[in-house]
Amino acid sequence: MATIEYYILLGVNSMTKVWEISSSDLENKSQKASLEEKLDEIKTAFTYGEIVAIPTETVYGLAADARNPEAIHKIFQAKGRPGDNPLIIHIHDVAQLEKFTPPLDKRVKTMMAHFWPGPISFILPLVGDYLASNAVAELNSVAVRMPSHPVGRKIIQHADMPLAAPSANLSGKPSPTNAHHVIDDLNNKVYGVVDSESADYGIESTVLDCTQFPYRIARPGAISRADLEAVLNVEVESFEGDSDKPISPGMKYKHYAPHQPLIVIEGGITNNTKLPVERHQKVGLIAPESCREFIDGEVQFISLCRDEQSYKEAARNLYAALRVMDTSDVDIIFIHGFDKNPESEGLMNRIYKATGNEVISGD
């Protein structure tokens, strides 16, 4: 289907292009010519300094040529993103790193071989001026990753250039896990959007700082500390606190938030939980389905996952749930606080960031 025809069917009045590419298209021989045409159009857009939202297995990314400072400026402008918040560089081949990082430590090579392609970014020393300085926020380090989403990976491979790609949303808002989320935020602000399968993980990549040893987790994600330590056979530290000059996205600013006040219920929701609300307030609650029995019928309830141990399901659905609440008429939102453990660390990091660490006890 032609780009403009597809966009008209979406019912969106926009100059933003939409390319519909599914994972099945990559294997469908009858779609080969159409697929190549779309990939060529996207590569041309990158070559001419345009920005295009592409799917990844974590969230949708707003991509541009990482070597082009004007293109990088467009990303910051479209998102309203602070200029001191560095971008993650997306690649399709480890050999690309030779152009902007020193030779890799053998431990880093081992982790890349084990976890890539996948939801982890490695912060490495930066050398030379191959990358635009504004892509790395003038730092002497760079975060890189290799996505596993089949369509996103194919786009990066076809473009054959390093792509800077933060989440494709307005800065501070919930990240997008499908193309419609991107259009809601960035319609008419970006050159194009690739409409493909939704993200599998739903939260951004784990970021591991490999510029010093022991390595430090700068941002938790789907790949846990236990996963990393099992491969490295050494302890991995946490980056304590936010940095005034962040080395990774997600370290300094409030993120992922709807416009209403959002409060996490630590310890989770029980039949004893009392929500501190005014009589006139419309209340929203995001929680596991198993908590529904404890909820007053007048509360707008969004089921985040099956039960309190369904951390992966909760992470996959988190941003979509926050976006639904963001467009609702509720005045205040509460969200279930999951048990703190290695499996829930990335999920709870995003929840605390979204609430600005506003908490109440569920007891």
Same domain, 301 and 347: yes
Contact criterion met (CB below 8 Å) for 208 and 120: yes
Same domain, 78 and 153: yes
Last residue of a domain, one of 238, 253, 285: 238
pLDDT at 240: 65
Same domain, 230 and 285: no
Domain ranges, residue 345: 262-361
Q: What is the CATH number of the domain that holds 354?
A: 3.40.50.11030
58 is in an annotated binding site: yes
Q: Which residues pair with 144 in a beta bridge?
A: 89, 122
Query: Is the residue at 247 inside a domain?
Result: no
Asked if residue 277 has pLDDT above 50, the reply is yes
Query: Is the residue at 15 inside a domain?
Result: yes
Same domain, 202 and 271: no
Residue 44: partners with Cβ closer than 8 Å, 6 or more residues away: none
Radius of gyration of the chain (CA): 21
Asked if residue 7 has pLDDT above 70, the reply is no
pLDDT digits (tens, 9 = 90+) for 172-230: 899 999 999 999 999 999 999 999 999 999 999 999 999 999 999 999 999 999 999 99
Last residue of a domain, one of 171, 205, 238: 238
16 is in an annotated binding site: no
Count structural domains, the chain.
Answer: 2
Closest residue by Cα to residue 54 from 68, 76, 38, 70: 38
Same domain, 231 and 290: no
188 is in an annotated binding site: no
pLDDT digits (tens, 9 = 90+) for 240-259: 655 556 676 656 556 788 99
Same domain, 170 and 227: yes
306 is in an annotated binding site: no
| Cα 128 to Cα 66, 98, 125, 191, 209, distances in angstroms | 14, 11, 10, 29, 19
Same domain, 343 and 220: no
pLDDT at 8: 41
Same domain, 277 and 164: no
Residue 18: partners with Cβ closer than 8 Å, 6 or more residues away: 3, 6, 7, 10, 179, 183, 192, 193, 194, 195
Query: Is the residue at 176 inside a domain?
Result: yes
Query: Is the residue at 268 inside a domain?
Result: yes
167 is in an annotated binding site: yes
Band of pLDDT at residue 130, cut at 50, 70 and 90: very high
Query: Is the residue at 203 inside a domain?
Result: yes
Same domain, 201 and 301: no
Query: Is the residue at 254 inside a domain?
Result: no
165 is in an annotated binding site: yes
Contact criterion met (CB below 8 Å) for 256 and 354: yes
CA diameter of the chain: 62
Contact criterion met (CB below 8 Å) for 173 and 158: no
85 is in an annotated binding site: yes
201 is in an annotated binding site: no
Q: What is the CATH number of the domain that holds 55?
A: 3.90.870.10
Gap between the Cα atoms of 163 and 128, Å rounded:
17
Contact criterion met (CB below 8 Å) for 273 and 265: yes
Gap between the Cα atoms of 124 and 304, Å rounded:
35
| Cα 218 to Cα 12, 31, 122, 224, 239, distances in angstroms | 38, 41, 10, 12, 5
216 is in an annotated binding site: no
Which of 62-100 are b and which e, b meaning 16 or more Cβ less than 10 Å from the residue's Cβ?
bbbbbbbeebbbbbbebbebeeebbbbbbbbeeebbeeb
Least confident residue range of 166-170, 181-185, 209-213, 276-280: 276-280
Least confident residue range of 48-57, 93-102, 292-301, 344-353: 292-301
Query: Is the residue at 248 inside a domain?
Result: no
Same domain, 213 and 328: no
In single-letter form, the type of residue at position 158 comes to: H
Query: Is the residue at 250 inside a domain?
Result: no
Q: Counting every residue, how long is the chain?
A: 363
Q: What are phi and psi of 138, to 5 degrees?
A: 65, 20
Last residue of a domain, one of 238, 273, 293: 238
Same domain, 131 and 64: yes
Same domain, 326 and 277: yes
